[in-house]
Amino acid sequence: MERLRGTCEKSLIVLLFSLVCVLITAPIASAAPCPFPSQNVCKNARILDEPHRSTKFTASNTSRLLCDSGMPDGWYRFKSNGIDVAMPTTCIETDHCGTITPIWFKGILPSTQQGAVEGKGCINRGKEDYLLFAYGGTKCCHEELQICAKNCNGYYVYRLTRSPGCSISYCAGDQTACAYGKIGQNCAFDLYPKMTSQPVLETPKCENGNLQFRCLIPFDSQDNKANFNVTWMVDGKPIIDFRTHQPIIQTLTNGQRIATLNAYKLARNMGKSVNKRVIIKISIVHANNF
């Protein structure tokens, strides 16, 4: 009996050793190489800098849904406010990434040594069972697009193809993204200044022997980030400076809120209506927290 038990224990040890050997020596599956040319794509890929592709940005936050149906096939590099981001490699629910129907990367992102590898762009149409009958595939991956990925030693580039309709777009990154038109910490600031009233064109006045028109901008003079381009016009057309032959445009910066026009620049425009066009700009310095 002892001999039989000893034989069984030896056989079990040999069997376990064999299983370990099989597990260790079994080949590791690797991604297929990309069938598209990938030379110099790290340098030449088109940059898509769109924070709203983030998996954390939901479609309910915007009426400007992203759509990649007009995207030319080619290599792309995703960024968010200048920072490189990657496509997600797990299922993304609908109404995320700034669109209704998101596309995520099905596959393993490669190392730099692997070069460009093939993957699939998974289109998630939704959770409803009838979508499997309508589009096929599996839940969270009803349709697949042929795409590739390449590791560029610090960031990825992707060989993408256009989406089969709207609103369908590729996801990239998982950073918090402000709603359109908002910036800054907690998204508390407007990207563009908002004017609560229209600029005022005053009645011309004679100052120091010169007849002048003045345009007043009713905007907070303490806001030094807001700049204004004032274009002077007659009968709806820009006034041309007779010396430079260019439209007369005055830029207001550093809290300036009054633009002036000397009447002598209205040569050959007597009897016409003077008006103005104001374009607002804002200076933004990007940082980690804006």
SS3 label, residue 180: coil
Rounded to whole angstroms, how far apart are CA atoms 81 and 50? 7
Name the pairing type of β-strands 143-151 and 156-160. Answer: antiparallel
H-run or E-run covering 122: strand 116-123
> pTM of the prediction?
0.59
Domains and CATH numbers, the chain: 41-180 (no CATH), 190-282 (2.60.40)
Tracing tokens 């589009």 back to the chain, one arrives at 135
Run means of pLDDT, 10 residues per run, the chain, 290 residues: 47 39 38 86 94 90 84 95 94 94 94 92 89 82 94 95 93 89 72 72 81 84 78 83 82 86 73 59 35
Instruction: Give the three-class secondary structure for 264.
Output: helix
